[in-house]
Structures are given as structure tokens and as C-alpha cells.
Structure 1
């Protein structure tokens, strides 16, 4: 017995909010602007709602160029095999996703981006969840509208860099606070243990005399 569930999400914004995190996995939208002649990471994440459920997942990428109506099948990943399926992307695609059968990150990296790479990319997860009662088959589709430009948008790059800098500062401060609290509690517990031992020894000594 098997169940089928499907979901479709469109990623159309350069920077989007992360969806709710499930067991350490967060669905973050892909960037949508690439620079000609450089590399670009096509992001695609599909988190399981229950991290503890084992699963097997394959990922397919399709591409629809500008001014065209049909998608081309360009890439397939079935761990540990990654296959480039279209000659336009020969030797230019590299798997950058999860390196096991339970795939949640389905990203691919495009080498040497060209203006012909502008268009719509569709990422499809085919996931089988191994449940105690029956296996469930889940299909998740996401799309990335990619624009290729001749030069990077400096304003966007600076904004993203500044945001990442502040996020890093906050994370480091929180980590420092956690470490300090942990060390303080550990030292205090050791102090309490020593005092308790001293009191116990003093009590035993008073009983003897």
C-alpha cells in the first residue's frame, strides 16, 4: 500500500524568508541572478516534516529557456549517481546537495554561466517515506526564475554581505553567552560538590570524636 502527496512551490524572489525549520532543515529560496562567465548555485531544499522518518529520495532538474514553452530534462540524481542529461549542460553541472539516499538539499552548481542559461529551472523531489503502516510517496516541485546579467548587482551584494555580517555577529554573541553559562554552571556544580564533601567529612569527624 502506498500514498501519494504532491506539493508545488515557486521561488521567484532574489531573497525570500525561510520556511519553518524541521529538525535542523530550513527551506531557503534560491538566489535568482547569475553573472555570465561565473558559477552559480541553483538552490533547492525540501525538508521532511518528521526528521526521524527514514526515506529515499531522487531529484530531477528541468530547464525551460526564455521564449520557449517546454521543459528539458537536464539532470538526475539517484545516490550515488549524478547524471547530466542535456548536451547544453555537458560538464557544467555538479551536484551540491545531500550525499546520501535521504536527500533534502537538491542543489546543483552551474559552471561558466551563459546568457542562454536564463529561464525557468524546475527541481523535483521524488521521496518515499518508510512508515510503519505503509510507505508514502511524496512529490515536491520548486521553480527558480534565473536571470543572467553581465555584471553583479553591487547594491544587492553589499546588502546581502551586511546582513550576513550582522547575523554572524549575533550568532557568535549567543554562542559566547551559552558557553559562559555552561562554564559557570559547571564550576558552580563542582564547587557545591566540594562543599558537600567537606561538610560530610566534617560531620564524620565530629561523630568519631
Structure 2
């Protein structure tokens, strides 16, 4: 059972590395003034076999304001910067076809005025067999702009724990493989011993039969 489990783990790790599946990762939330920043927005389809078409809209609410303003629209293959405050500063970095799952945009030359809430809205049409289904997904990013980049303590700890987990998992797999090898080797030796005993018993039985025939 343990050997089968370890094999499944190895196969799952191999599949995850070979197949680029969709994963809804949250956007980063801290930008550095004067640099560029990627606003992430991912909405995975629940059924990959269904074809779809989507458009993406980005809205922005500055810090302290009440209303969102429309700043960007993408409808493959065209993109439009709607608000003049972001003129020539936004670029589409999402899916490069109409079946959009990643709706990320890149902000050039971030300023402190870019601090606030960004809302990504994905309008998706799923082309079903008998009808089309409309799905709308909204995601928000609370962006703060700083003068100098800071690595959060939680991010550092998470990175360390990730490497520790990888090392522990590899050691565990090695131990399991060694255990499986020993177990298989012992079973092989036991089978060979049983075969030898069976052959010896058959030889003795054959000898007894021969002795009986000679006595007659």
C-alpha cells in the first residue's frame, strides 16, 4: 500500500510539472513608485472542454474615493485604455486569445496616486450544446504604493517552509523507495526459498517412488 501511494505521489508531481493547468493565484498588492507592476486577475473555467469567449474590464477606486472609474477594456484582440490618468501606462498581459482565463494588466511607471482598489471583471460566455451560459466573475486588488520594496515576513517564512517541505518530501520518498526495495527483495528471496523447498520435496518424492519400484 505504501509503495502504491509513493508511486501515485511521484506520478502526480510529474503530471503537475508537465501539464500547465489553470490556478487562481491572487495578485501581489505592493508596488514600488517609479517601477512597473502586474495586476493579476485569474478566473479558471470549471469545464475545460467547453469553449468560451470572454471580455475583461478593469475599474479603479483611488484611496479615499467612493466611486470606481472605468480604466481599461479588453476584447480580443483589441485593448482600450479608458481613463486619461492611465494613458499610455496600461498594457494587456493576459490570455492571448478570446477564451480568457488570465486577465492581467501591467502598469508602467507606478505613482503614489495609483494607490487604491482595482476591480477586475471577466464577462464569460460558455458555448454549451443547447444554450449559451453567461458567467461574470469579479476580483479586487487592494494596491499600496511604497517608495522602497519590502519583503514581508510572512512571504519569507512561506518561502523557507516551501523549501523545507520539498526537502522533507524528497527524503520521505527516498525512505519509502528503500523500504519498497527491501520488501520486494525479501519477497523475492522468500519465493526462491519456497521454490527450492518444493523442488527438493519433489526430488525426494521421485526418489521414494523409484526405490519402491526397485523393491517390487
TM-score (norm 2): 0.64
Q: For 1:64 and 1:118, locate their aligned partners in 2 and report how far apart those are by CA, in whole Å.
A: 9
Q: Deviations over 1:49-81 (max 9, x none)?
A: 001100000000000001111111000000000
1:31 to 1:112, Cα distance in 2 relative to 1, 3 A: same
Higher strand share: 1
Note the residue ranges of structure 2 that are not aligned, 5 or more in a row.
1-19, 175-216
Higher helix share: 2
Quick one: which of 70, 87, 92 aligns to 2:89? 92
1:158 to 1:64, Cα distance in 2 relative to 1, 3 A: closer
Greater radius of gyration (CA): 2
- Number of corresponding residues: 153
1:155 to 1:124, Cα distance in 2 relative to 1, 3 A: closer
Q: Is 1:73 the counterpart of 2:34 in the alignment?
A: no
Structure 1 ranges of 4+ moved more than 2 A: 154-158, 160-167
TM-score (norm 1): 0.66
Q: For 2:132 and 2:100, locate their aligned partners in 1 and report how far apart those are by CA, in whole Å.
A: 17
Q: For 2:101 and 2:152, locate their aligned partners in 1 and report how far apart those are by CA, in whole Å.
A: 31
Aligned to 2:202: none
Q: Deviations over 1:155-192 (max 9, x none)?
A: 4597189459839x77xx7xxx9xxxxxxxxxxxxxxx
Q: Is 1:115 the counterpart of 2:140 in the alignment?
A: no
Q: Is 1:82 the counterpart of 2:79 in the alignment?
A: yes
Q: CA RMSD in A?
A: 2.7
Aligned to 2:193: none
Q: Is 1:138 the counterpart of 2:135 in the alignment?
A: yes
Look up the SS of the partner of 2:156 in the other structure. helix
Note the residue ranges of structure 1 that are not aligned, 5 or more in a row.
1-22, 178-209
